[in-house]
Amino acid sequence: MTGLSKWVRAVASLLLAVSGLAQKPSEDWPVFRGNQRLWGLYEGTLPDQLQLRWTYQAGESIESSAAIADGVVYVGSSDGMLHAIDLATGKPRWKYKTKGSVGESSPCVRNGVVYIGDLDGVFHAVDAASGKARWTFQAQQEIKSSPNCFANKVFIGSYDQHLYCLSADTGSLIWKFSTDGPVHCTPSVDANRVFISGCDEVFRAIDVNTGKQLFTLPLNANTGASPAVRDDHVYVGTFGNEVMDLDLKKRAVRWTYTHPVRNFPFYSSAAVAADRIVLGGRDKMVHCLDRTTGKALWTFATRGRVESSPLIAGDRVFVGSNDGHLYVLDLATGKKLWDFNAGGPLSASPAASRGSLVIGSQDGALYCFGSVVP
């Protein structure tokens, strides 16, 4: 074998190794719904039988969904606090005081910085190690949207009817995009496009670098849910009581789903598996739909609104309900496998990392489930 051939093979082996590392599933949950495309999928393993590992008392209501990175849980609470909690022990690492109450804005973690918005319209970048402020950015109205990061940019929506693109490092404004209604949803990011489903009844695709609108699609109703994008299709529920599949290549609606009897808004964001999507409804039910046809595969009834966005891990669905229960359902059939009575409404969405699942309650408790460490 020549020296050149050995060099080529060595480079090829290195590229394969790097590729394998890049494809390794992440054990972190650094953003609302777990990844930039908002799939709601956990690629790690959760134990067959969940057990309560610890409970952390935030003091006030938790409607923010947790982010988990490097063994630390980050979550906001309505008393204006961002909490950092050790995933293994449930012990607090630090608290950061925001300017206003933290509502549904959920943290995003990138390169050692935690990002979160508050109801005074202040967007915060906080050092993940120390809990000290890196920078803040002032929007004109409240922030309920959760941030999403791409490259060196962070995207956040505000009720001032703008989607903002900021420098993740400095907080300086790169661009802002004006809509005709509050930007409540968490923006999803895929293939250099950022997507928002709006309170102005319009779905928008925007260039991540320039902030220029690429195209729009009508939603025909206000939308509080966040758009999940997979394989050039977007899945989102609306206040018009519909779930929609938007074909990004054809720029058209592929299908819509409406329950034949119970017509209530869909506020929960969809979890998107290979062949099906799962989301909650204000009809107190969890709905599982075929991704290709939009046909209902099963529904599961709870005793309260399901505003929590489901998490799919393996062959199970994990979702909270405003009836105060965390439910574990069989992904194939919708059969209940297990539930936990938290007492307070669970409108926040579950997050998972390192074999543990975390969810907050409106009574101020943050619960961690997994295998109990002896």
Measured CA to CA, the distance from residue 117 to residue 13 in angstroms comes to 44
Over residues 131-137, the mean pLDDT reads 98
What lies within 8 Å, CB to CB, of 253 at 6+ separation is 217, 244, 245, 246, 247
Please, how many CA atoms are within 13 Å of residue 331, restricted to the half-sphere of its CB? 19
Residue 235 is inside which H or E element, if any? strand 233-237
Q: Please give the share of the chain, as a percent, with pLDDT higher than 70.
A: 93
DSSP lists the bridge partners of residue 168 as none
Q: How confident is the model at residue 26 (pLDDT cuts 50, 70, 90)?
A: low
Give the SS3 label for residue 182.
coil
| Residue 11: predicted pLDDT | 39
What the chain holds in terms of domains, given with CATH numbers, is 33-370 (2.130.10.10)
pLDDT digit string (tens) for 310-360? 999 999 999 999 999 999 999 999 999 999 999 999 999 999 999 999 999
Specify the DSSP class assigned to residue 35.
S
- pLDDT above 80 for 15: no
Selection from 238, 285, 239 nearest residue 262 by Cα: 285
Q: How confident is the model at residue 374 (pLDDT cuts 50, 70, 90)?
A: very low
Measured CA to CA, the distance from residue 76 to residue 244 in angstroms comes to 30
Give the SS3 label for residue 341.
strand
pTM: 0.92
Over residues 186-193, the mean pLDDT reads 97
Give the SS3 label for residue 9.
helix
Residue 7 is inside which H or E element, if any? helix 3-23
List phi, psi (to 5°) of 199. Answer: -75, -5
